[in-house]
Amino acid sequence: MQSKFMSTDAFLRLEKEWQHVRKAQRHLELEVERPRPDSPAELEPSETAHSHART
């Protein structure tokens, strides 16, 4: 008969992997939110083109 619960070692390995995945996800979210130094953070590329055409 199979046990209803996983072993402590298996749980700890799974928890460690889960934390690794969460950290990687958060890192990617921060990369996406980081403003690029070569483009204004507030303006979309189409807005940037229109603002240059008006000046």
CA distances from 46 to 9, 10, 34, 36, 42 (A): 54, 51, 20, 16, 12
Does 44 score more than 60 pLDDT? no
**Residue length of the chain:** 55
Contact 12, 20 (CB under 8 A): no
Model pLDDT for residues 10-40, shown as the tens digit of each residue: 999 999 999 999 999 999 999 888 877 775 5
Mean pLDDT on 28-53: 67
User: Which of 1-5, 23-27, 29-33, 43-47 reaches the highest mean pLDDT?
Assistant: 23-27
Contact 24, 32 (CB under 8 A): no
Contact 48, 54 (CB under 8 A): no
Mean pLDDT on 4-9: 92
